[in-house]
Amino acid sequence: MMKPNTVLWAVGLVMSSQAMAQSNVSLYGSLDLGLLSISNTSSGVGYLPKASSPGGGSVQLKDGGIGNSNWGLKGEEDLGGGLKALFQLQGNLKANSGESGGPNSSGGTSVFNQMATVGLGGEFGDIRIGRQVSPLYYALASSDARGARYFGSALTALVGLNSASGLYLGNNSNPAFGTIYNDNAVVYNAPTWNNLSLSAAYAFGNTPGSQQANSQQTLAALYSANGLKLSAFYYNGYGNSAPAAAVLLGSAAKAEAAGFTANANTNRLASLGGMYTRGAYTVSASWMGARNPVQLNHLVGGADSLDLWSVGAAWRVAPLANLSAGYYRIKDNTHAGNTSTQFALGLDYFLSRRTTLYVEAAQVNNKGANMNTSPVYASPVAANKSVSAWMAGLRHSF
């Protein structure tokens, strides 16, 4: 829960900074809340299929139908000569309960669990250091007609990949395949050249005695011109699965003995995607490959190799209304016959530039003991069962 002095500090920072002519600081955020009905939930531990059991259907008030509620501070200072200093702080809010903060990479909770960065920008592009969003997320969202939202999208499909690994607790932002948020990260965004944008990230493991241990690397490319968007990314990580393996195997010592060490190359994710918009119509398609290079996930009943294919479409049915649909299919290459398919459909109505009404529905078919894809972000479901869900809500940004 956010303490009163934290709020006063934030407001004071904004007021004092805005009084300085050379600085530009703003307070921003979004509140997204809706009614969710879901047919199958999990009474187990997070997204671990081995620990899941049917928890029954649920109707609830849920935060995050398009995206999570959040708030933040960001700004820049003109340093002269085309150089500027940058900073950004951003964290989760739960609009249904008023709680602030969210899961970090260590399994704890941080107020600014999404971004805490400082950096420099100029003609060379920009470079930022701290906890921040991985470039892979922007590539993922740019080739998904559903916009990588929190309900029925490429993002929930990515969570499905992590669930199928058998090693995703869901209580931290450092999963088995890919990472949306990186601690201790240095991210460089090159200036756009011929409609092409390139980004590179290196997240330090901060592990004594080893530069490689718990480190993560990402390369991403985005092309955008004349309604066409193309995306690609490559992600590689070490030690990501060790905490979940310790839970499943009974102790950190047993996990290490099985090979789940901080130096083990347990996380590799690559993707290619595209989206094309012409007039009121949009189509998209993508492929994502998830691999456990040291092939350890099968030791806990998970998959060492998975592929995710998606297709999507959107139709601007009216100036203020957009209809979108997406189909996402996960194939387990480790266990023959294990698959997960997800179909989602949604309608957004834009009351204003900042306020959106939405209604959406999804159907997921999970087949296999390690398949428990959920159509709703942060809502685990039991493995090897079908799931249907719908959600109606309101999102406002400020």
- Partner residues linked to 102 by β-bridges: 110
| Residue 22: pLDDT band with limits 50, 70, 90 | low
H helical segments located in 250-333: 252-257
Cα pseudo-dihedral 215, 220, 152, 1, rounded to 10: 50
Each residue of 292-344: pLDDT tens digit?
Answer: 999 999 999 999 999 999 999 999 999 999 999 999 999 999 999 999 999 99
The residues, ordered by sequence, that sit 6+ positions from 57 with a Cβ below 8 Å of its Cβ are 37, 38, 39, 40, 41
**Coil, helix or strand for 57?**
strand
Q: Is the pTM of this model over 0.75?
A: yes
Mutual orientation of helices 154-164 and 135-142 as an angle, nearest 10°?
120
Q: How many domains are there within the chain?
A: 1
Per-residue pLDDT band for 3 (boundaries 50, 70, 90) equals very low
Distance CA 265, CA 260 (A): 9
Structure tokens at 364: 């997921």
> Measured between alpha carbons, how far is 233 from 283 in angstroms, rounded to an integer?
20
Query: What range defines the domain where residue 382 resides?
Result: 4-397
Amino acid identity, position 326: G
- The SS3 call for residue 142 is helix
Q: What is the pLDDT of residue 74?
A: 98
Distance of CA 118 to the CA centre of its chain: 21
Rg (CA), the chain: 21
Structure confidence at residue 17 (pLDDT):
45
Q: Would the pLDDT of 200 be above 80?
A: yes
Can you tell me the mean pLDDT for 227-256? 94
For residue 106, what pLDDT is reported?
81
**Residue count (the chain):** 398
Which region among 52-61, 78-87, 139-148 has the lowest average model confidence (pLDDT)?
A: 52-61
Spell 220-241 as b/e; 16+ CB within 10 A means b.
bbbbeeeeebbbbbbbbbbbbb
CATH of the domain at 354: 2.40.160.10
With DSSP H G I counted as helix, E B as strand and the rest as coil, what are the percentages for the chain, rounded to 5?
15, 50, 35
